[in-house]
Amino acid sequence: MIRTLIVEDDFRVADIHAAYVSRVAGFEVIGKTHTAAAAYDFILTHKPDLVLLDLYLPDEHGLELFSRLQQLPRGSKMDIFVITAARDSQSVRDALQLGAANYIVKPFTHLQLAERLLAYRAARNRLIDTREVSQEEVDRVSVLMRGAKIDLYRSDNSKNPTTDSILKYIEASAESVSASDISQALGLSRATAQRYLSQMVEGRLLELELRYGTTGRPIHKFRVHKKSLR
């Protein structure tokens, strides 16, 4: 399990983010803190694998805390997702220069966070399972780690093969489909399927449906957008 700490000054938002993370396979929320001081103490004591870090904390800017965490000894550092309402380019640059594994702008949906967490998990597992890596593998892990945006279209504005295959599969299905359905049918990893589906929703190629089962957790289902042109 990837042990995750939520650092967020708003108690309600912290609870929401914790609930989002807990619903993603392979992740466990081990704590929620609401100040930089509390976060630093918690990190030293519990050594989380991943920190979801807000920038607007009451006692210290999140990037200042990030900088202090970078001074910890090698082997004791954790990965950090910056999660913030800050959209200015300087904050983004500073976070990336410090080594943020991802930068996510509020507000966001569970699906958007899950997509990045699954990409991060896949990249982390690759590094754990491999002793030596080639440049190609380094490039692949870098793309996975940041959940890089997928080009749904080719340069001639036609859909790329994976986009087209997903659309054809969903069109041929009698009911809306899930990321697991796409993953199994097309031989894609679940993380890749999630990334494609999320971006196809953003691009208005697909529509997202939330269905609630007996567990109370919504199941994400997808269908072709009515305005999508083939």
Taking the complete model, does pTM exceed 0.85, yes or no? no
Range with the poorest average pLDDT among 22-26, 94-98, 189-193:
189-193
- The domain ranges of the chain are 2-108, 150-224
Residue 230 confidence (pLDDT) above 60? no
The torsion defined by the Cα of 166, 169, 173 and 178, in degrees rounded to 10, comes to -40
Instruction: Output the pLDDT for position 49.
Output: 96
The CATH number given to 150-224 is 1.10.10.10
User: Which residues touch 146 (CB under 8 Å, ≥6 apart)?
Assistant: 101, 102, 119
Per residue in 149-208, pLDDT (tens digit) is 666 877 777 888 888 899 999 999 988 998 889 988 988 777 678 778 877 887 789 988
Q: Which fold has domain 2-108?
A: Rossmann fold (3.40.50)
Of residues 75 and 87, more confidently modeled: 87
Per residue in 111-137, pLDDT (tens digit) is 888 878 888 887 787 777 666 766 655
